[in-house]
A and B are shown apart, each in its own frame.
Chain A
Amino acid sequence: MNLTLRIWRQPGPEDKGRMVTYQVDDVSPDMSFLEMLDVLNERLTLSGEEPVAFDHDCREGICGMCGLMINGDAHGPQRGTTACQLHMRQFSDGETIDIEPWRARAFPVIKDLVVNRGAFDKIIAAGGYITAPTGSAPDAHATPVAKADADAAFESAACIGCGACVAACPNGSGMLFTAAKLTQLSLLPQGQPERYTRVIGMVDAHDEAGFGGCTNAGECTVVCPKGIPLNTIGRLNRDYLTATAKGGGTPGS
């Protein structure tokens, strides 16, 4: 396959970026999208240009490190698939492909296609956990958990923190990410003691980090490679309201 790539190039956080056009020939349909970028980068390196910086690590769809806007879609055209698991057979010969970084106020660009997603970590640090210092745990079977609750908790826990939801949201909201963690922990008996302080802490951190508000556009759940459902945000809102009524304080020890 021969492809035309238009890629966002930005040397550093303070620099102005622009789309640059590259021709890539001899692309195999069996290549992953990132392997296609590898081919381009090898060529750029040998011709004395700087290769395109992009984040990636496991390349099997679980670490959440890769994230590209491909023709305007977060992670590209294939549903339930991260950019690293997207293969070139999803494209056709002669196609022009636009590749851009996540664009959101809370995710500033570091270089080319690499953005800073540290804001997600701050949301977790503000309450996205159950306080259980090592050694303090009772026997694992001390508290049974209904299978339906455990399964639903798992569905939400499957979030890989890639940030596609934020990139797709017209408001740059991180609500799906926040709600996924809140849903997981609030479905489990172990998560109950901190349930209402947790939601206040995480939502406050979310807002402080510069994410926008949720207006139920629903774009997030469409692009989510792990299919985190939109109703997690409903659950977040319900808990948030309850917490406000209770006058919930800050989370933590």
Chain B
Amino acid sequence: MQDFTLDDLRRVMRASVGVDDSVELESDIADTEFTDLGYDSLALLEIVAKIDKEYGTAIPEDAVQDLTTPGKLAEYVRGRLPGAVAS
């Protein structure tokens, strides 16, 4: 079954929006706010669009503003993967 881990998210972030020089993406970023990692609202939209494209998740616009950390986003994406059980 398809999964979406923090590493998958790291890969998408690297490929689509780059990494701030002062940020170590490999560190424990799950609970760090995207803004503290140097990602603004446009970057988040770009990340979400790339995930939607690759995973067919169709994340609703209204949900994005609450997905403020990589951990929350990855968990949300997992819940929308095909075959995921609604929690």
Do A and B pair up? The answer is no
